[in-house]
Amino acid sequence: MTPEFSRPVRLDTIGAGDRHSEISADVDERRALARRFGLIAIDRLDARFDVHRAAAGIVAQGRLSAAVVQPCSVTGEPVPATIDEDVRLRFVAEGSQTGDEIELSEDDCDTVFYSGGAIDLGEAAAETLALALDPFPRGPGAEAALRAAGVLSEEEAGPFAALAKLKKTD
């Protein structure tokens, strides 16, 4: 199955020097990605990458920027968000990694597996966007809706809440 936002780069066009790529999702691609990620809308999705070969695979680094509208996790109301992320990825052929655990430092890349003769920068950008989204976005009406439903705030339900209640009764 072809991803909604596919921008393949053939491996035989990637050398040791940087190859610059700028990609943007069109209206239909953004609409399809919004459905996939449960978003109300993706108004903009752009990425730029410098891609080169390295000993450990193909390295792509650059920047992702997007404007999205997520549903509030409490009320479902639209919550606009802007994403601006540095991206550093290492593309590795499927099956070339061993099952051994490796320890990663902050400078290490996220690993993306590929098969065939190309890497897909569009799908890599889409996955980066998904990881950058707020998992529990809250709109301005969220607090009131939670209170109306009887949900306690963190301060009211926290470990010291019972002690605070005892202190008030003295």
Q: Three-class SS of residue 63? A: strand
User: Among 26, 21, 23, 64, which Cα is nearest to 42's?
Assistant: 26
Q: Where are the alpha helices (DSSP H) in 11-120?
A: 27-37
Residue 60: pLDDT over 50: yes
Q: pTM value?
A: 0.80
Average pLDDT estimate for 10-21: 92
Average pLDDT estimate for 10-29: 94
pLDDT at 106 (0 to 100): 46
Which runs of E-coded beta strand occur in the chain? 8-10, 19-24, 41-54, 57-71, 78-93, 110-114, 118-120
Residue 104: pLDDT over 50: no
Placement of tokens 């890349």 in the chain: 109
State how beta strands 78-93 and 110-114 pair.
Answer: parallel
pLDDT digit string, tens, across residues 71-97:
988 788 999 999 999 999 999 998 875
pLDDT digit string, tens, across residues 112-170:
999 999 999 999 999 999 999 999 888 887 677 777 777 665 666 566 656 666 666 55
What is d(CA 159, CA 54) in angstroms, rounded to the nearest whole number? 50
